[in-house]
Amino acid sequence: MTNMSTSTSRHARGTGSPARPGRSRWRYRTIDLVTVVLLGVAVGVAFWGWSQLYQVLSALSVFAFPPLGGLLSGPWLLGGVLGGLIVRKPGAALATEMVAASVEALLGNGWGITNLISGAVQGIGVEIVLAIVLYRRFGVVVASLGAALSGALGSIYLWISYYADWGWDYKLIYLVMFAVSGVVTAGLLGWVLTRALARTGALDAFGAGQELHQRRKR
- Expressed as residue numbers, the domain containing 154 is 29-217
Length of the chain: 218
Q: Is residue 20 part of a domain?
A: no
Q: Is residue 139 part of a domain?
A: yes
Q: Is residue 140 part of a domain?
A: yes
In sequence order, the 6+-apart residues with CB closer than 8 A to the CB of 55 are 110
Tens of pLDDT along the chain (218 residues)? Answer: 334 333 333 333 443 334 344 557 789 999 999 999 999 999 999 999 999 999 999 999 889 999 999 999 999 999 999 999 999 999 999 999 999 999 999 998 878 889 999 999 999 999 999 999 999 999 999 999 999 999 999 999 999 999 999 999 999 999 999 999 999 999 999 999 999 999 999 999 999 999 888 887 77
Q: Is residue 1 part of a domain?
A: no
- Which pLDDT score is estimated for 75? 97
- Which pLDDT score is estimated for 23? 58
- Which pLDDT score is estimated for 9? 37
- Which pLDDT score is estimated for 10? 39
For the chain, the first-to-last Cα distance in angstroms comes to 28
Q: Is residue 144 part of a domain?
A: yes
- Which pLDDT score is estimated for 2? 38
**Alpha helices, H only, the chain:** 2-13, 21-24, 30-57, 78-87, 92-107, 114-132, 140-161, 168-182, 189-200, 207-217
In angstroms, the CA 182 to CA 187 distance is 6
Domain containing 107 — which CATH number? 1.10.1760
The backbone torsions φ and ψ at residue 134, rounded to the nearest 5 degrees and listed phi first, read 60, 30
Q: Is residue 14 part of a domain?
A: no
Q: How many domains does the chain divide into?
A: 1
